[in-house]
Amino acid sequence: MHYGMVVDLKRCVGCQACTIACKSENGTPPGVMYTKVLDQVSGEYPNVRKQFVPVLCNHCVNAPCEKVCPTGATHKRADGLVLVDHDKCMGCRACYVACPYNNRIFLKRGKLKSGYHGKTMTPYEAVKYKEHQDGIVEKCIFCSHRVDAGLKPACVQTCPADARTFGDLDDPESQVSRLIRSRGGVQPLSEDSTEPSVYYLS
């Protein structure tokens, strides 16, 4: 079992529904996004086009963040998910500078003391912020709690354009494997030999 994701750039409409679904699912504080959609303008006037590129932790097979982590907080599960043990992280941010995808977020001290409405937290924030710790590094966890329950990650579940597909990369008949095979899935920054578990179709 090796979980991975395929992102179809031709399908993504840049609606940021995945960004919101992720924030809602994980209850992250303001400014903390495990996933988001970046704009890319390409071409030259008058032939200009805009593309959208969803980005998230790539759960690399050769994860540089895991290698540099001095505490062992960043670890890899047998199913390929790269997770951070909040109780072990000391906030040195070695993983932040090691991640070529810049997909790690440091939660400054005090970050969890206020929510989207200032010091007054919504009941939802009050509950969800207890799942986080300040002074440590966080990142996309492929919604491991949902995956463990047999569900898809929130961003995949929500995407209205079906741009994100989640599944087992080890299974040649899974939808992700078939998409990568038939459409020529490309790993981001493959030249860095990190072997991301996220593939892009263009």
Partner 1 sequence: MSKTMSIVGNEYVMGFRRQVEWAGLIASAFFFGKVGAGLFMMSVYTQSRPGMLIGLAIVLGGKGGAHLLFLGRPGRFWRGMARPGSSWVSRGLWAMSFMTAFGGAALLLPAGSPLFQPLALVAAFFAFIVAVYDGFLLTSSNAIPVWNTSLMPVMCMFYAFLGGTTLTLFLSHFGVLQLPAGALLLPQLETVLLAVNLAIVFLYLITTVNSAGAGKRSFELLVKGPYAVPFFALAVGVGLVFTLVISISAGANATPGMVAVLTVADLIGHFFIFYLLLRVGVFKPVIGLLKI
Among 199, 198, 174, 195, CA closest to 186: 199
Comparison of 101 and 147: residue with beta carbon closer to partner 1? 101
Phi, psi of 174 (to 5 degrees): -70, 160
Q: Given the complex with partner 1, which of 158 and 187 has the nearer CB atom?
A: 187
Token representation of residue 102: 């810049």
Neighbours of 116 (CB within 10 A): 12
The SS3 call for residue 15 is coil
Where does the chain show beta strands of DSSP type E? 3-8, 36-44, 47-55, 74-76, 82-84, 105-106, 137-138, 164-168, 198-201
- Near partner 1 by CB under 8 A, which window of 95-103, 113-121, 149-157, 164-172? 95-103
- Which span (96-104, 122-130, 147-155, 170-178) binds partner 1, by CB under 8 A? 96-104
Closest approach, Cβ 64 to partner 1, in A, equals 7
Judged by CB under 8 A, which of 60, 84, 94, 176 binds partner 1?
A: 94
- Asked if 200 interacts with partner 1 (CB under 8 A), we say yes
Residue 13 within binding range of partner 1, rule CB under 8 A: no
CB-CB contact of 64 with 195 (8 Å)? no
Binding-site size, partner 1 (CB under 8 A): 52
Q: Does 184 bind partner 1 (CB under 8 A)?
A: no
Contact set for partner 1, span 63-82 (CB under 8 A): 64, 67-73
- Look up residue 115 and give its two tokens: 């929510």
Residues at the site binding partner 1, with contacts judged by CB under 8 A: 9, 16, 31, 36-40, 42, 51, 53, 55, 64, 67-73, 88-94, 96-103, 106-109, 133-137, 186, 188-192, 200, 202
